[in-house]
Chain A
Amino acid sequence: MAPDSSAAVLAARPAAAPARGSAMKRFARRRSTIAFLMTLPLITVIGGLVAWPAGYAIYLATLNRRQTAFIGLENFDILLESETFRSVIWQSCFFAITAVLLKALVGFWLAHMLHHIPAKGQKIWRGMLLVPWVIPPALSTLGWWWMFDPSYSSINYLINAIGFPSVPWLGEPWWARISVIIVNVWYGAPFFMIMYLAALKSVPDQLYEAAAIDGATGWQGLRHITLPMMQNIISITVLFSLIVTFANYDIVRVLTNGGPRDLTQVFASYAFQVGVLSGNIPRGAAVSLFMFPLLAIIAYFVLRGVNKRNQEMA
């Protein structure tokens, strides 16, 4: 790599050295060329289907409805002034934060419970609990939709059976919001559980034994060993899930389709409605671009967490 350090040798063998230098360079260049060719399809996908569309979205968002004139930030202005869109922002944030928090808690609890039972049975329980994550969410949400059905709700049947009145699941705004969150938590909590379980299993048992000998109670063990050791995986999972939940589309589309009165619209479903269904592509692009700053911030933290993790493991 450092041909200049061979100055003395170069001087001694003036004829042979330059030829060798270039052969070595050729070898290195050839390796780079092969590597570049191998990554070319990847670069094409990332560049052509992610980076370019992302830039193109910004350009689109500055056009008028028929994409004939540049109108600057007007789309964003109009959106921010609209009551509906402000409710979309609110609903997106409320939905994402509540759902992720619940998923994290439920997942953490279940992972702990799974970790406690004898190893033999863990596989079966884990297998059952992960089922919601395996079914394509658009399809399982269809099942939930049917369970929430106003006249035939099987959930209301159970609620009535224990003596409570029926719940207007998808008909009333707050219940609709809760329904969306329930389905999302049902779908996503198993993922958290699996991640936490993997993290729990990576904490060596000796640490707990050492702590127990030092006199730690179970709670102190959790507080001083489990949580710190899992901190990174918890934060990466939470941040990652925030992105996915924030950008969720399937569940809202199938369950409420934004209703009642657009009160359960999130960014993705609203962008779809404005951009594709109503045909205002630039405005739709503007809606989805509102997700970007938040995603960028989260991505920054995820990346930092991953890097930190890599450094610790190296």
Chain B
Amino acid sequence: MSATARPSEMVPGLGRRIGSLRSERRWALWTAYISLIIAAVVMLAPPLYMLLTSIKTSAEIADPSGNPWLVLNPTWENYAGIIGNPMFRGFFYNSIILTVCVVVITMVISVLAAFALARMKFFGSQVLATGVFLTYLVPDTLLFIPLYQIVGGLGLLNSIWGLVLVYPTLTVPFCTWIMIGYFASIPKELDEAALIDGANWMQMLTKIFIPVALPGIIAATIFAFTVSWAAFVYPTAFITRPDEMPLTIGVVSQLIRGDTFAWGQLMAGALIAALPPVVVYAFLMDYYIAGLTAGATKG
């Protein structure tokens, strides 16, 4: 890219070549930093603007004459307002219940299955592993209509338990897939040593595999958490009663009222709703990224 030198520059005298190399490097570095600064500004502008809006007073938001990127009278009133809103607290509570259940269910299902698929070759295990991967490629928007019927048939529409039932379709395939990768990378001698030491299958899983593949477990857990926290299609389709809504659809559908949008509160609500995944990301970035790239680099 910018680090290229035209071939003619590479040939003549050593001194010149070193000089050109150095200036070339400097140029490459400049290009890189300028690109990254521009990218960072663009990437961070929307959340920043949400933050700015959320600390403005309604009057300031509604004033079309000022610079929208400046805050003159910062205030916490939007946050106080949104946190004081029992409906919003309900969304948050629903999201927490829902996500905790889904993460636990997902991890139990995928760790057990990945262990069996990675280590106990059995009839059809190869087909099943491929099936897991294919399932991962099926998007939720292809399934929500039949699932709407099925969940409706079970009487679970308008209930977070209906979501607890269907969310695993979003999380289990990928988590299983990356756990297979992590488990498969554990040397075979380790389970043989455990076998000789007297471990049974369950002890091998709990005492050897899970601790050794802990980074994978963390990455998969983070994935399951962020996906179920951010899921949008299923709750939008299955939940219409505000008191059963999780945050995503709750914020998007319930906080927007008629024409007089309470923009400040809306943005405050969206930011609070986005906070848990962002916090997890900030503290566990390396695991987060390992989980993201695991699908392609391990599979």
Contact of A128 among B44, B46, B125, B296 (CB under 8 A): B44
In the complex, how many angstroms separate the beta carbon of B106 from the nearest chain A beta carbon? Answer: 9
**Which chain A residues numbered 28 to 71 have a C-beta less than 8 Å away from chain B?**
31-32, 34-36, 38-39, 41-43, 45-46, 49-50, 52-54, 56-57, 60
In the complex, how many angstroms separate the beta carbon of A196 from the nearest chain B beta carbon? Answer: 10
Besides A139-B252, A249-B233, 9 other A-B contacts (C-beta < 8 A): A35-B116, A38-B116, A60-B145, A116-B3, A127-B282, A142-B251, A198-B296, A217-B6, A303-B130
* Cβ contacts A76-116/B at 8 Å (1 or 0 each): 00000000000000000000000000000010011011101
- Given known contacts A135-B274, A194-B293, is B233 in contact with A42 (CB within 8 Å)? no
B contact residues around A154 at 8 Å (CB)? 49, 68-69
Contact B10 A271, beta carbon cutoff 8 Å: no
Q: Does A243 contact B (CB under 8 A)?
A: yes
A contact residues around B115 at 8 Å (CB)? 38
Contact A34 B32, beta carbon cutoff 8 Å: no
A contact residues around B35 at 8 Å (CB)? 109-110, 113
Which one, A2-10, A13-21, A285-293, is touching chain B? A285-293
Of all A-B residue pairs in the complex, the 9 with the closest CB atoms, nearest first, are: A136-B230, A247-B139, A268-B141, A42-B113, A53-B146, A35-B120, A218-B4, A38-B116, A218-B3
In the complex, how many angstroms separate the beta carbon of B272 from the nearest chain A beta carbon? Answer: 10
Ordered by A's residue number, 22 sampled pairs between the chains whose C-beta atoms are within 8 Å are A38-B116, A41-B113, A42-B113, A52-B150, A53-B143, A53-B146, A116-B29, A128-B40, A129-B40, A130-B285, A136-B232, A136-B273, A139-B273, A140-B50, A195-B296, A198-B293, A240-B295, A247-B141, A248-B141, A249-B232, A249-B233, A281-B149
Pick the most buried of B125, B165, B252: most chain A CB atoms within 10 A of its CB: B252
Q: Report the count of interface residues on A (CB-CB < 8 A).
A: 101
Contact A50 B233, beta carbon cutoff 8 Å: no
Contact of A57 among B43, B110, B145 (CB under 8 A): B145
* Cβ contacts A268-282/B at 8 Å (1 or 0 each): 100110011000010
Q: Does B166 contact A (CB under 8 A)?
A: yes
Chain A residues near B (Cβ < 8 Å): 31-32, 34-36, 38-39, 41-43, 45-46, 49-50, 52-54, 56-57, 60, 106, 109-110, 112-114, 116-117, 123, 125-132, 134-140, 142-144, 146-147, 151-152, 154, 157-158, 186, 190-191, 194-195, 198-199, 202, 215, 217-219, 222, 233, 236-237, 240, 243-244, 246-250, 253-254, 267-268, 271-272, 275-276, 281, 284-285, 288-289, 291-292, 295, 298-299, 302-303, 306, 309-310
- Given known contacts A46-B131, A113-B31, A117-B36, is B46 in contact with A140 (CB within 8 Å)? yes
Contact A110 B36, beta carbon cutoff 8 Å: yes
- Given known contacts A136-B277, A143-B46, is B142 in contact with A295 (CB within 8 Å)? yes
In the complex, how many angstroms separate the beta carbon of B3 from the nearest chain A beta carbon? Answer: 4
Which one, B71-79, B169-177, B210-218, is touching chain A? B169-177
**Which chain B residues numbered 129 to 175 have a C-beta less than 8 Å away from chain A?**
130-135, 137-150, 165-166, 168-169, 172-173
Contact A292 B142, beta carbon cutoff 8 Å: yes
Contact A186 B42, beta carbon cutoff 8 Å: yes
- Given known contacts A142-B270, A186-B42, A249-B233, is B142 in contact with A291 (CB within 8 Å)? yes
Contact of B33 among A112, A117, A144, A240 (CB under 8 A): A117
Contact A302 B137, beta carbon cutoff 8 Å: yes
Contact of B29 among A106, A117, A127 (CB under 8 A): A117
Contact of B252 among A49, A106, A254 (CB under 8 A): A254
In the complex, how many angstroms separate the beta carbon of B289 from the nearest chain A beta carbon? Answer: 6
- Given known contacts A113-B31, A130-B281, A131-B44, is B237 in contact with A276 (CB within 8 Å)? yes
